[in-house]
């Protein structure tokens, strides 16, 4: 009987431990997501370092993969807010709209998709490249 009890205690601790590990992970994920949204700065707004996006826009164009990883993955890697998830057939469905429609919807925003995917300093070409990256990665 004593053996069974300690086995149950160990099991209970195991569950409690894994639950707290999970809680930590999702807390971090939430902080990461809030950070991404909180760090958005609209071009021309000096109150939040408006000069930075202008400087970035003057630099070399980033690859679609780079833009995706740094700007779009926050929602498109997880499917947050109903975003079509990277690597799933959801992107093949979107692809039927054609790249021009997808690009203009990404620029203007659509449903839960914010204008420019919250990337104020992304050029149209960079947005297009990152969409193509998501389409290619989800075939």
Q: In terms of CB distance, is 1 or 111 closer to ligand HEC?
A: 111
Closest contact distance (angstroms) between CB of 44 and ligand HEC is: 19
108 within 8 A of 116, measured Cβ to Cβ: no
Using Cβ positions, the residue closest to ligand HEC within the complex turns out to be: 111
Note the residues at the interface with ligand HEC (CB under 6 A).
67, 71-72, 74-76, 80-84, 94, 97, 101-102, 105-106, 110-114, 117-119, 122, 127, 130-131
Closest contact distance (angstroms) between CB of 87 and ligand HEC is: 14
Closest contact distance (angstroms) between CB of 58 and ligand HEC is: 18
Q: In terms of CB distance, is 7 or 35 closer to ligand HEC?
A: 35
Spatial separation of the C-alpha atoms in residues 80 and 72, rounded to whole Å: 11
Q: In terms of CB distance, is 15 or 61 closer to ligand HEC?
A: 61
The number of angstroms, rounded, from the C-alpha of 1 to the middle of its chain's C-alpha atoms is 51
Question: How wide is the angle at C-alpha 28 spanned by C-alphas 10 and 68, nearest 5°?
Answer: 130
Q: In terms of CB distance, is 3 or 74 closer to ligand HEC?
A: 74
Spatial separation of the C-alpha atoms in residues 22 and 39, rounded to whole Å: 26
What are the angstrom distances between the C-alpha of 87 and each of 61, 66, 70, 114, 122?
Answer: 24, 16, 17, 21, 22
């Amino acid at each position: 009987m004593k053996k069974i009890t300690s086995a149950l205690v160990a099991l209970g601790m195991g569950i409690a431990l894994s639950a707290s590990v999970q809680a930590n992970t999702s807390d971090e994920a939430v902080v990461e997501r809030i950070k991404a949204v909180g760090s958005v700065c609209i071009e021309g707004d000096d109150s939040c370092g408006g000069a930075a996006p202008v400087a970035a826009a003057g630099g070399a164009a980033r690859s679609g993969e780079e833009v995706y990883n740094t700007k779009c993955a926050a929602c498109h890697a997880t499917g947050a807010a109903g975003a079509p998830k990277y690597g799933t057939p959801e992107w093949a469905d979107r692809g039927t709209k054609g790249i021009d429609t997808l690009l203009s919807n990404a620029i203007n925003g659509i449903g839960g998709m914010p204008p420019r995917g919250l990337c104020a300093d992304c050029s149209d070409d960079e947005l297009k490249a990152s969409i193509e990256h998501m389409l290619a990665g989800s075939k």
